[in-house]
Chains A and B, each alone.
Chain A
Amino acid sequence: MHKHSIAELAAGLRDKKFSSRELTEAYLKRIAAHDGALNSYVTVTPERALAQADAADAVIAAGNAGPLTGIPLGQKDIFCTKGVRTACGSKMLDKFIAPYDATIVEKLDAAGMVMLGKLNMDEFAMGSSNETSFYGPVKNPWDPTRVPGGSSGGSVACVAAGLAPIATATDTGGSIRQPAALTNLTGIKPTYGRVSRYGMIAFASSLDQAGVVARSAEDAAYVMQAMSGFDPKDSTSVDRPVDDLVSGLGQSIKGLTIGLPKEYFADGMAAGVRARVEQAIAELTKLGVNFREISLPNSPLSVPTYYVVAPAEASSNLARFDGVRYGHRAEGAKSLEELYKRSRGEGFGTEVQRRIMVGTYVLSHGYYDAYYLQAQKVRRLIYDDFKRAYADGIDLILGPTTTDVAFKFGQNSDDPVAMYLNDIYTIAANLAGIPAMSLPCGLVDGLPTGFQLMGNFFAEARMLNVAHQYQQVTDFHTQWPTEYAS
């Protein structure tokens, strides 16, 4: 049952082949059996799940089922869930139970989906390997000695291992796409402002965007459809109708022009990955897509720009965790200053502290112009690069998602810069605010690799359609890690 697509699960529920309760119980059983090794769930919520499943079964019985009614999912532990702990991978929030739901939690609950639990992640979404989580690293289902990527490591591991049919995730600099690529999944980060950030714990507000990791573009389209839309509670969400993502999947992609940024195909990509990406280009060419080399001249500046902007915003967003109203509070502090220092020193892990330090520095008096302001200017140039490409007749942009396959635990953990370079291909989309996704393009030495599509603003439907058409003629996305195949 765990290999079914969302559409197949919906049909099975509708045709009474199985109930949502049975489906939910089957997933809970798989979680119990496998997650000890994977560590993808931080919190499993069987009672809440079964109650939702029973409610969904009643809706199905009444003939009122929607496309997602009764279908289980995992929620990244960055989305606040009323009554269920939301820890965001941090000791700081180890005991935090929000009195509200994030908008996307509300929306997916309303769509009838069944939340199985909350998924592990890098602390405050800061990391590319899931090694910064207070709850321990998540293992890559394809090779337990390797990282699943990050920060949405729990999201990808649980879907890749069949411990949830689909999962929510967030992407600030590649946190959906990089782990999706490393675990053979399809992951989409929509346009900035397409999905509400209300109730999603902020890392870098101007870059954070929620999306999903799924086993196909079609699965992703179903859930993205339900998640997307304007939210008056998020001033940066965009008041614009959501395209019909699912019915847009059947269109021909013949004659589309996809740009290949020469900067993305320069040195730096592992040979195996390059071969796989080139093969994907060949497959799409067969479908009638035209390819054209383009230039995104400022893209080499993405990583340094990001590592000024994101820590700056993070240092500000994380200032609220002071031990006063909620979250970790140090015991026995003798003064207010000591309370702050110790609560934050104890509650935040090393990587989070590093980014708060960097962010505080770049916003400081005397450094602001040289770092933060300068980074914002470069960010504008990066945005202009994409604007120009799309204005120049490019429908989509294609490139690698990662430089290589999943790396081993500990390989980059002592070298933050090497770790940051994992995001080299994914960061630009966040800085520009455009939608982007990663999808599987085959294994290299038994490990998955993916390629990336980047769309114009709000062109999620077109991007998903191209991905879907590609997945109609390829079967990379249907491959399973051996251990979890059955």
Chain B
Amino acid sequence: MIMPAGWEAVIGLEVHCQLSTQSKIFSGSAIAYGAEPNTQASPIDLGMPGMLPVLNVDAVKKAVTFGLSVSAKIAARSVFARKHYFYPDLPKGYQISQYELPIVYEGLLDIELDDGSVKRIGITRAHLEEDAGKSVHEGFQKSSGIDLNRAGTPLIEIVSEPDLRTAQEAVAYLKKLHQLVVYLGICDGNMQEGSFRCDANVSVRKIGAPKFGTRTETKNVNSFRYVEKAIEYEIERQIEVIEAGGSIRQETRLFNPDTGETKAMRSKEDANDYRYFPDPDLLPVVCTDEYIDAIRASLPELPEAKRARFVTAFGLSDYDAKTLTSSRELAAYYEAVVAASGAEPKLCANWVATDLLGALNKMSKGIEESPISAEAFAALLKRIADKTINGKIAKDVFEAMVAGEGTADEIIQAKGLVQVTDESAIIAAIDDVIAKNPQQVADYRAGRDKLYGFFVGQAMKATQGKANPDALNRLLKERLAG
């Protein structure tokens, strides 16, 4: 999309991130995805009379972990509030959330733009709350079903400042946030299952206008691509409306992935009065300095720090470092390979980033599902490093490993792929090639240097590719020189 001249968009995102705790935020029910409806719903989750919430401290810890990772302030005292509205998937008639006093506030996240520049995005707040259940419309006649398995799943709602200006920036922010929460181990990041959901607040204004335009909120856009499309659609729509002399209504809109359009859902006038007030069933959440410091001390290395370290410690390019730190699992895999193989970190990076990721990609698998463990992969690279096999043979061994034919050493043994370093054998092969190709030898010696590659190929072929490439080159040059 090309932004019409003179216009700019103002975008803020609200991200709902399900915390990967063992149990719900206010009850002991499990939160596994995909269970039979209502099998993970206790009387507390059902909002039965007399039931009371008890806060899951792990959810608090995960929220604080997030806050610290975005350099935010952690509230010494935060308060749960009730947000009221009637809906069948909201059992108590209110959602327990945080309102005036969220647990995390005033954070920031640096995003990288396409031109390589870095933009700092403010994070207004992140508050703890419970998820609602789900209404099920399929398979019912003239009625709807309610599945309360999800009701009470812990969430943090992460609210950005309206610092984003394009759909691409919004996606960069979202991807960065996604990578971060997965890195921190506080969210599984599964967008299809709704573990990471996004609402986009979008407005447009003439560049230089002192105030923001009226914004719309587009709900539940649940893939990076849809976020980009929804925001672009909304920007274009709003500019069109204003340019045609109309004005934007403050409203909630719904994105339709099939059409790529957003549609008005409800206007501000029909919005609920949520009647927030502090939940009298729960005490304020108190985070002492000691508690916060202990969580800070246990924070994992964050993606940016890891990326910088990969550049300095392993001598990798920034590009490779970025690829290899894109997930915590991949980075750990790479580091394990380097440590166990003793091979050049750069060589390891090429193999992991190109060959392994390429193969996994073909299988649609993530690094955590890799059929080759880091140790097994290291064993292959070790054989390159110690010159048992050359790089070309290693590719074949790797293919065989992916196919499940055994360990690197087993495959090398079974297929007799050990590199030929015995110079007399290589010389014999070279001499054989020279003897069989007198014309080419004559041409080469007459100055057709290009034929050198032909001799390398023939000699390699004669050793079934096992000749040590350095030795072969040296000896071939000697023999061809006559």
Contact = CB atoms under 8 A, between A and B. Distances in A.
A232 B53 CA distance: 10
B275 A320 contact: no
Contacts of B47: 320, 325
A312 B279 CA distance: 11
B43 A322 contact: no
Interface residues of A, number: 44
Given A99-B43, A206-B280, A236-B280, A198 B55 contact: no
Given A364-B275, A372-B277, A322 B53 contact: no
Contacts of A360: 275
B212 interface: no
B119 to A, nearest CB: 35
Given A319-B84, A324-B146, A235 B54 contact: yes
A364 B48 contact: no
A340 B92 CA distance: 13
A319 B93 contact: yes
B93 A100 contact: no
Contacts of A100: 43, 48
Nearest to A339: B88
B91 interface: yes
B84 A235 contact: no
Contacts of A198: 50-52
Interface in A239-296: none
A319 B280 contact: no
Contact of B50 (A202, A236, A363): A202
A364 B53 contact: no
B49 A316 contact: no
Interface in B270-305: 273, 275-277, 280-283
A199 B43 CA distance: 10
Contacts of B94: 316, 319
Contact of A201 (B49, B54, B277, B280): B49
Interface of A (DSSP majority class):
loop
Contacts of A80: 49-50
A102 interface: yes
A236 B278 CA distance: 13
Nearest to B282: A235
A312 B54 CA distance: 22
Contact of A93 (B49, B86, B275): B49
A372 B273 CA distance: 15
A363 B54 CA distance: 24
B48 A98 contact: yes
A230 interface: no
A363 B82 CA distance: 11
Interface centre among A199, A324, A326, A360 (most CB of B within 10 A): A324
A88 B49 contact: yes
Contact of A363 (B43, B55, B277, B280): B277
Contacts of B283: 235-236
Nearest to A337: B86
Contacts of B308: none
A233 interface: yes
A336 B88 contact: yes
B46 interface: yes
Nearest to A359: B275
> Which secondary structure dominates where chain B touches chain A?
loop
Given A233-B54, A320-B91, A365-B275, A98 B86 contact: no
A322 B275 contact: no
Contacts of A322: 86, 88, 93
A364 B273 contact: yes
A244 to B, nearest CB: 27
Contact of A236 (B49, B92, B281): B281
A197 B277 contact: no
A326 B50 contact: no
Given A235-B283, A319-B93, A340-B86, A86 B275 contact: no
Contacts of A413: none
A74 B280 CA distance: 28
A235 B50 contact: no
Interface in A301-349: 312-313, 315-316, 318-322, 324-326, 336, 340
A359 to B, nearest CB: 9
Contacts of B86: 319, 322, 340
A200 B50 contact: yes
A96 interface: yes
Given A235-B55, A316-B84, A325 B275 contact: no
Contacts of B275: 315-316, 360, 363-365, 368
Interface string B48-80: 111111110000000000000000000000000
Interface centre among A102, A235, A340, A368 (most CB of B within 10 A): A235
A205 interface: yes
Interface in A407-430: none
A276 B461 CA distance: 117
A301 to B, nearest CB: 20
Contacts of A102: 50
B50 A201 contact: yes
Contact of B92 (A320, A336, A363): A320
A324 B88 CA distance: 7
Most buried by A among B47, B48, B50, B281: B50
A307 to B, nearest CB: 16
B49 A98 contact: yes
Nearest to B135: A336
Contacts of A475: none
B49 A325 contact: no
A235 B53 contact: yes
Contacts of B82: 316
Interface in B172-218: none
16 contacts: A88-B49, A93-B49, A98-B48, A198-B50, A198-B51, A205-B281, A232-B54, A235-B53, A236-B52, A236-B282, A319-B84, A319-B86, A319-B94, A321-B49, A365-B275, A372-B277
Interface of A: 79-80, 86, 88, 93, 96, 98-100, 102, 197-202, 204-206, 232-236, 312-313, 315-316, 318-322, 324-326, 336, 340, 360, 363-365, 368, 372
Given A98-B49, A206-B280, A325-B47, 12 more contacts: A79-B50, A80-B49, A198-B52, A202-B49, A235-B53, A235-B54, A236-B280, A316-B94, A319-B86, A319-B94, A321-B49, A324-B88
